[in-house]
Amino acid sequence: MRVIRTRRVYAGRRPGVEAPLGFGAGTGDAPARMATARIVCLGQPAAGDDGVGPAVARRLRQAGPPPGVEVIDARDASELWDLVQHAGPVVIVDALLGEPSGRVVALTPEALSEAALTPLSSHGLSAGQALALARRLAPGTVSPRVLVVGVTIAAPRRYEARLSPEVAAAVGPAAEAALAAALAGGEDR
């Protein structure tokens, strides 16, 4: 495990598992020259269902991300500025205000802005807004392959450290969707 600023980063490498073609194939723990896939899990664990992103990050860490996949636990969308400036695919996992609670959706950032779902933000900047800002201010550095895997939630409750049963049940499917998208190169499958 390595730490970058306030984010926890987990790059997976399981003994005896070969790296997929183009994703970190090589020897030892030295990163390959190919870009890794990045899964960025957003959320505040102390805000009830808004903690779904960190819960997905925990699930991915417990399973051990495959070689070439980096899992990052970020507390706020403002951290996306640095995280989307990446050559490889980026999958953003976030809570989305919508009904019914616990539905897992995979959308492009553009489709997210058109959907009837609202990315959650506790600091006034949503994941979609942060991505749009990064693309505007640093064109050419933001990954061209970004996908949002969202879990629909009701309005979050502050100082609630538990997920609702519906959202807790969606953690596994959201982790699977994020990992599948990362391995597919950020494409919705």
Strands, E assignment, 43-168: 69-74, 90-97, 104-107, 118-119, 146-153
User: Which band of pLDDT confidence, cut at 50, 70 and 90, is reported for residue 22?
Assistant: very low
What is residue 186's predicted lDDT score, i.e. its pLDDT?
61
Name the residue type at position 32. Answer: A
pLDDT at 131: 82
Condensed to tens digits (0 to 9), the pLDDT of residues 149-168 reads 999 998 877 677 899 999 99
* Range from 129-133, 140-144, 163-167 that averages highest in pLDDT: 163-167
Residue 50 CA to residue 157 CA, distance in Å, equals 8
- Joined together, the tokens standing for residue 95 give 């809570």
Average pLDDT over residues 44-48: 87
Determine contact, residues 83/102, Cβ cutoff 8 Å. Answer: no
Q: Which domains does the chain have, with CATH numbers?
A: 2-14+33-183 (3.40.50.1450)
Q: From CA 175, how far away is CA 114, in angstroms rounded?
A: 24
Q: State whether residue 95 is helix, strand or coil.
A: strand
